[in-house]
Amino acid sequence: MILAQFQSVGRDLCAQGLISHAGNLSIRLGDRLIITRRDSNLSRLEENDLVETGIDKNDRCTPLASIELPVHRAIYHETSAKAVVHAHPPHAVALSLIETELVPPCGEGSPQLERVPVLGWNMEVKPGGLSDIIARVLKESHIVMARGHGSFAIGQLLQEALNYTTMLEECCKVSCLLKSINASVPGK
C-alpha cells in the first residue's frame, strides 16, 4: 500500500518531467518517516528503495536515506505535514534564479497556489541545506523553491504534495511563455 503510493507519485514526477536528475519523497508515521533511498530512481521504486528511520533519532538505516533527509526531518518538526515531495521542476527552477518569489499567472486553475517564496538568495544552496528556513516557510505555504535547485511541497498525502508541485510547474511554464512573448514584441 505504502509502496504503491511512492511508486505512483514517483512515476508521475518522472512522466511530467518534474525531476531532472533526482528527487525524493517521504511520508511521516508518528515519530518515524519513510523516505526514498539515496540515489534511488523514482520512476521505478521497489521495496528496498524505501528507508524507514527516525524523525529525531538516527539508526542503522539513516545513512541509506536520501541526502535531503535533514530537510524532510525539519519539515516534519515544524509543520503538520504527513508527506513531502522534493522535485526539480525545470521552469520553476529557471524562474527561481531570477525571481525572489514566484507569482502564478494562472490563479483561476490553481486556487490553492499563491505566491511561492524562493529561498536561498545570497546563500549557497546545496542538497540537504536550508532545512530550517524551508521548514519555517512551509508553516505558511504549501510549497517553496530553493533557488536554482528545486521545490519542496507538503501535504497530508504524497499525491497532494505532488499536486502542488505540478500546479507550480504549470504556472511557471505559462510565466516563461509570457516572458518569452514580451521579449520578442517589436518596439517594446
Contacts with Zn ion by CB under 5 A lie at 150
Helix (H) or strand (E) holding 29, with range, is: strand 24-29
Nearer residue to Zn ion within complex by CB, 123 or 178: 123
Nearer residue to Zn ion within complex by CB, 63 or 128: 128
Residue 105 C-beta: closest distance to Zn ion, Å: 25
Nearer residue to Zn ion within complex by CB, 150 or 155: 150
Residue 49 C-beta: closest distance to Zn ion, Å: 16
Cβ atoms of 19 and 13 within 8 Å: the answer is yes
Cβ atoms of 23 and 49 within 8 Å: the answer is no
In degrees rounded to 5, what are phi and psi of residue 185? -70, 125
Cβ atoms of 172 and 110 within 8 Å: the answer is no
Nearer residue to Zn ion within complex by CB, 105 or 128: 128
Q: Which residues pair with 26 in a beta bridge?
A: 35, 84
Residue 26 C-beta: closest distance to Zn ion, Å: 13
- Bridge-based pairing state of the strands 32-36 and 143-146: unpaired
Residue 27 C-beta: closest distance to Zn ion, Å: 18
